[in-house]
Chains A and B, each alone.
Chain A
Amino acid sequence: MIDTIANVLLQGILLGGLYALFALGLSFSMGVMRFVNIAHGDFIVLVSFLLLVLTTALGLNVFVALILVLPVTFAGGFLLQRFLLQRAAGSDVLLPLLITFGLSIIIQNGLLQTFGADSHVLAGAGTLQTASIALTSGIYIGVLPLLTLLTAVALVLGLDRLLNYTRLGSHIRAVADDVAAADLIGLSSGRVYALAMGIVGVTVAIAACFMGLNMNFDPTSGPDRLLIAFEAVVLGGLGSLWGTLAGGIVLGIAQTVGAHFDTAWQLIIGHVVFLVLFLLRPQGLFPKY
């Protein structure tokens, strides 16, 4: 009994690590650029397909492929912000929302057109996906989920250091504080936003790699990832990266507990727990703003 509870909680925490990975990029862009990228989940799925092509067509190890992809997604985020999203910056919320909404639909249907509707999973990481560690007789930890959670923690630490201890980080926080003031003193917000979106691109690639290794994905998986990511960010409190990690873990536990009783209810329980917690504590667990 105790073993079961411990196991469910543990698996929930591990799943939460994956959800936090989905959410960190969104958290960063919501905290810094104050906009919700509706296409966030679709970007993750898009990069997963890119990794799929690299691992299957070129036979690369998935982590090698990830390293190759990182500069691409950084540049992708940078250029997207610079040439598309920046045109909507400073206007009301409607424009960025509609543009990313349009992007979301374009990506989903572009992927459907190219890859069909089948679902896929990333391979090419050797025995990583099947290996596990036995903690006690009844409790096993998968090596991959553990690695996923540790990556999420490392990513939070890295982003936190970047924001608080680097020059770029202080520029990003300045722009998040007051865009107009940044522009007035010559700290061009467009450049800072573009760099920030490049960083989001890096987190998207990492999330895509671990999503593809941990679960099935198909061209229309994006919105579900977006919703989970959004819930993790809101639960954790806007602007707090550690909060986002906590939010992801709360959702992971909620879903695992739900699934323990009836797998068909896993998703509903996750959403309902989000809604209830949100009503009880709208500012989230660790609000910053």
Chain B
Amino acid sequence: MAFRSPSLAMLACRLALLGGIAVLLLAPWLFDSEGLAVLTQFLTLLVLALMWNLLAGYADIITVGQHAFVGIGAYAFYGFAALAGVNPYAAIPLAALVALVAAVPAMAIVFRLRAAYLAVGTWVVAQVFMLLAGKLPGFGFGSGVSLPIAVAQAFGTDPAGRYTTIYLLALGLAAVTLISTWLLLRSRIGIGLTAMRDNEEAAGALGVNIVRARILCFLWTAPFLGLAGAIITLQNLRISPPASFSIIDWTVFVIFNVVIGGIGTLEGPILGTALFFVLRAYFSDLGTWHLIILGVLSIVVILIEPRGLWGLLRRVLPGDLIPVSHRRAAAAGAVRAAPERFEPQPPA
């Protein structure tokens, strides 16, 4: 790092974050359809990363099955919009609702398993959902089906307008996901989970029921994953079990992104997902090598710094970019307040 002081580095990070937000807000004017499509993918993957991180980084639920809820969201959206004839805009929140409902029975199984068993357990559940989706009449069985033109056109009659609408939906979803998750983590429940994760005895003293908090988090992620599934379907214009329930696209990449970026922070998933898109821009023609490189990179990163690239940066930076814990925020406040004590007393 070429920065001479930590606060300069912090400033640079803040500027990068603000710059990124500005670019995202102005994107419809800055980019063509192709660029917007890539940004839409970025935002949906960011939502998936934030959700996986909420579970694995805070709620101690390491899932390898989150693609299930993406797929359920996709199929539900198709079902409402294409089969039931519901207004396509209304079909999006309905897809979230279906994902939430599906999370309830999944929870019964998942929460009886602990730790690593839970991980494979979620995978089995996801596998069952995927196989069942391939048996649904009306959804094209194993090979899937395209979204009717009418549904797509409800989001814009010309492709350019449609890309913009879908992009704005994805941007809204990402913003809502990020802000609500941030608020959740700063709530008493989130503080309890963070304390629990950091093995602090305070966890019990905070009076947070950890089991209930974990259940809340699990249910919390389902609708967001379902919404992401709906937007992904809008973008790809088709559903199929292997694509809508793709473990590689919606779970493997996501885990790598979060791990490389930094698990258990809010900055990590953002950094990891952004890096993923930068790498993909350069390595897209590498095919399978792309995944091999990501796999090696994630193993190397966690062996060097289990808190990922953000963990490495955090050694230089004086604080979080997006502070989650009140304690740390309070500590930062105390540092800022401290010099006041040494201010010369105003003359009487």
Chain A contributes a number of interface residues (CB within 8 A of B) equal to: 41
Q: Which of A71-122 contact B (CB under 8 A)?
A: 84, 87-88, 91, 93-99, 101-103, 105-106, 108-110, 112-113
A35: Cβ under 8 A from any B Cβ: yes
B116 touches A93 (CB 8 A): yes
A98 cross-chain contacts in B, Cβ below 8 A: 255, 259, 298-299, 302
Distance in angstroms from A96 CB to nearest chain B CB is 7
Q: Which residues of B contact A174 (CB under 8 A)?
A: none
Instruction: Give every chain B residue within 8 A of A176 (Cβ-Cβ).
Output: none
B120 and A112 within 8 A (CB):
no
Interface check B62, CB cutoff 8 A: yes
- For the complex, what is the distance from the CA of A227 to the CA of B294, rounded to whole Å? 23
* B295 touching A275, Cβ below 8 Å: no
A63 within 8 A of B: no
Specify which of B115, B123, B302, B303 is in contact with A93 (CB 8 Å cutoff). B115
Are the CB atoms of A267 and B124 closer together than 8 Å?
no
Contact B124 A105 (CB under 8 A): no
Query: What is the 8 Å Cβ interface bit string for chain A, positions 264-284, against chain B (1 contact, 0 not)?
Result: 110110011011001100100
A106: which of B127, B132, B296 is its contact (CB, 8 Å)? B296
Interface stretch among B27-35, B285-293, B313-321? B285-293
Contact B288 A271, beta carbon cutoff 8 Å: no
Q: Is the CB of A105 within 8 A of B62?
A: no
CB of B15 closer than 8 Å to a CB of A: no
Chain B residue with the shortest CB-CB distance to A283: B112
Q: CB of A234 within 8 A of chain B?
A: yes
- A144 adjacent to chain B (CB < 8 Å): no
Contact status A91-B295, CB under 8 Å = no
> Within 8 Å CB of A282, what residues of B?
112
Q: Separation in Å of the A86 CB from the closest CB of chain B?
A: 11
Q: In the complex, are the beta carbons of A36 and B132 less than 8 A apart?
A: no
* A218 proximal to B (CB < 8 A): no
Q: What is the CB-to-nearest-CB distance from B216 to chain A, in angstroms, rounded to a whole number?
A: 21
Whether A230 is near chain B, meaning CB under 8 Å from some CB there, is yes
Least Cβ distance of B156 to chain A in Å? 37
B306 surroundings in chain A (CB, below 8 A) = 91, 94-95
CB-nearest residue of chain B relative to A231? Answer: B124
How close is B119's CB to chain A, nearest CB, in angstroms?
A: 6
Known contacts A94-B62, A271-B131, A275-B125: A109-B295 contact under CB 8 Å: yes
A227 to B112, Cβ gap below 8 A? no
A72 and B124 CA atoms in complex are apart in Å by 31
Q: Which of B108-149 contact A (CB under 8 A)?
A: 108-109, 112-113, 115-117, 119-120, 123-125, 127-128, 131-132, 135
State which of B108, B115, B289 has its C-beta within 8 Å of the C-beta of A279: B108
**A109–B292 contact, CB under 8 A?**
yes
Does any Cβ of A come within 8 Å of B309's Cβ? Answer: no
Q: Quick one: which of B109, B113, B289, B299 contacts A99, CB cutoff 8 A? A: B299
Residue A159 CB within 8 A of the other chain? no
**Taking chain B's interface residues, is the majority helix, strand, or loop, or is none over half, making it mixed?**
helix
**Chain A residues, CB < 8 A from B48:** none
Question: Given the known A-B contacts A98-B298, A103-B299, are A275 and B124 also in contact in the complex, defined by CB atoms under 8 Å?
Answer: yes
Does A245 touch B at the CB level, under 8 Å? no
Tell me how many residue pairs across A and B have CB atoms closer than 8 Å. Answer: 102
Closest to B106 in A: A275
Which residues of B (73-117) have their CB < 8 Å from a CB of A?
108-109, 112-113, 115-117
Q: Do A105 and B292 touch across chains, with their CB atoms under 8 A apart?
A: yes
Give the distance in Å from the alpha carbon of A108 to the alpha carbon of B289 in the complex.
11
Q: Are B128 and A230 in contact (CB under 8 A)?
A: no
Q: Are B124 and A94 in contact (CB under 8 A)?
A: no
Cβ-based interface call for B173 (8 A):
no
Asked whether A96 lies within 8 Å of B116 as measured between CB atoms, the reply is yes
A94 to B108, CA, bound (A): 22
Q: How far in angstroms is the closest Cβ of chain A from B137?
A: 13
Check B64 for interface membership: any CB of A closer than 8 A. yes
- Could you say which residues of chain A place their CB within 8 Å of the CB of B124? 227, 230-231, 271, 274-275
Contact (Cβ within 8 A) A101 B64: yes
Bound Cα distance from A105 to B263, whole angstroms: 19
Supposing A105-B252, A106-B295 touch, asked if A38 and B64 sit within 8 A by C-beta, the answer is yes
Interface 1/0 per residue, B50-79 and A, CB below 8 Å: 000000100000101000000000000000
Query: Is A105 in contact with B120, judged by CB distance below 8 angstroms?
Result: no
A226 within 8 A of B: yes
Q: Nearest-CB distance from B305 to chain A (Å)? A: 12
Out of B56, B131, B298, B303, which one reaches A87, CB within 8 Å? Answer: B303
Q: Which residues of A lie under 8 Å from residue B302 when comparing CB positions?
A: 95, 98-99
Q: Is A113 a contact of B108 with CB atoms below 8 Å?
A: no
CB-based contact B296/A102 at 8 Å: yes
A-B residue pairs in contact (CB < 8 Å), sample of 8: A88-B303, A94-B306, A99-B299, A99-B303, A112-B288, A223-B247, A268-B128, A279-B108
List 5 A-B pairs, minimum CB-CB distance, nearest first: A36-B116, A109-B288, A93-B115, A106-B295, A102-B295
Known: A106-B295, A278-B109. 9 other contacts (CB 8 A): A96-B116, A99-B303, A101-B64, A105-B292, A227-B124, A231-B124, A271-B124, A271-B127, A274-B124
